[in-house]
Amino acid sequence: MPKYLILTCVSLLIYCNIRAAESDSLKKQLISKGFNNVAIVVDNNDLLVTFENSIYRFEPAAIKEVMNLSLPFCIYKSRLIIVVQKNKLPVVAIEINLFDYQKAISDSLGMSFNYIKASYNCDEFWSKFKNASKSNSSSLKTDVVVGVDMLLILGIWSNPIMPQFNLGASFNTSLWQGMTITVQPVYEIYNEIVTVYPVLDVFRPGLITANQIIKLPANIFVSATIGTFLKYRYGFDLETKKFSSKGNWAVGLRCGYTGAWLFEDKYLDYWTLDEINVTMSGEYRFQSVDFTTRVTVGKFVYDKGVRIDFFRQFGEINIGFFVEKTTTTKNVGFNFSLPIFPSKYYKYPYIRVRPSENFSWEYVTPYIPITNAVIYQTGREIDNVFKNLNPGFIVKYLRIEN
């Protein structure tokens, strides 16, 4: 009997060492690719992987890379579970049934075979990483994002098209879970738009913010921001958004207490906090065609009204159309966003300079800043932070097409 007991203990020890070596090997591969906050957990017949992407422009492409690197380590496993982080927060969990995955490959069932599931509800899987060490931390790393912002509006008869071009460099530093500091100097390349504050310095500050995001149970995200915002506002902003587990619908509430500011003659001037904005939104996404409609109603910065957005996602390309009505005016416009080369960025230890992920353009007519449904931008809106991480969109991207 002691002989069998010793053999059993030795076999278990060897098995545990092999599993630990495999997990360590996978972790090293993911870190070598540049992924952050990497942790691996083997739980019975499940292989669980968590990471944060800072390398790929397109989040689903990063998930696919992690999936392909992890699959060779899934021999004798039932499921591969990937938890995607953003600012060290667990955002979405992808569950791959490995038995069905193999059948999908061998039987050429492709997209018709439901072997991948994704959900915002990832608390159960995230708890598995509670005692796991996360390597290659994203904290205290600075990403310098350089991009051109363009706005084109319909002007008066003597100047029918009025453009504005700004060059900005956003210094984004992650401190702890959900916390980001942003400092953005802006250089005005060209401007024909008559705004509320028509005379501004060519070189001026843009976003200077401190933002904290937390995730609550039931797929609720809360984003709190303080600082100077775009649209020449400063103050406090609080946004809450509740998503369905599959990401096909969401409701949101946004509140702000802001005042006006401008940078003129190398002097920063500001007015007292004088505007309270409260808006509510509801949206529905048709997952089969990646089409979303959203209704936002409430008190915007200057006026009360309603705005309806329709937008369609074609991979990394987004095209949208909106209509809005306030108590004093009506307005229509469209916008689109195109990806900017390259699709993959270099890994960095502390600081990196890279281009913006996309080029965005908006056309508005007519443009009346104090009566339109204007809302400032903090740069840390929940939709911006977690873009391209919709569970249904991820599932469509990862499934095999034959």
- At 184-241, the pLDDT tens digits run 998 888 877 655 444 556 778 889 999 999 999 999 999 999 999 988 899 999 999 9
Which two three-digit tokens encode residue 16? 């545990």
Strand 116-119: give its sheet, edge to edge. Answer: 36-43, 46-52, 79-86, 89-97, 116-119
Instruction: Give the pLDDT score at 333.
Output: 86
CA distance 19 to 16: 5
Helix or strand (DSSP H, E) at 11: helix 2-32
Name which of 103-107, 197-201, 388-392 the model is least confident about. Answer: 197-201
Ranges of each domain in the chain: 2-137, 142-385
CA distance 168 to 230: 12
CATH number at 2-137: 3.30.300
Asked if residues 116 and 96 have their Cβ atoms less than 8 Å apart, the reply is: yes
In the chain, what is the greatest distance between 2 CA atoms, to the nearest angstrom?
A: 99
Q: Identity (one letter) of the amino acid at 281? A: S
Percent of the residues in the chain that have a pLDDT greater than 90, as a whole number: 62
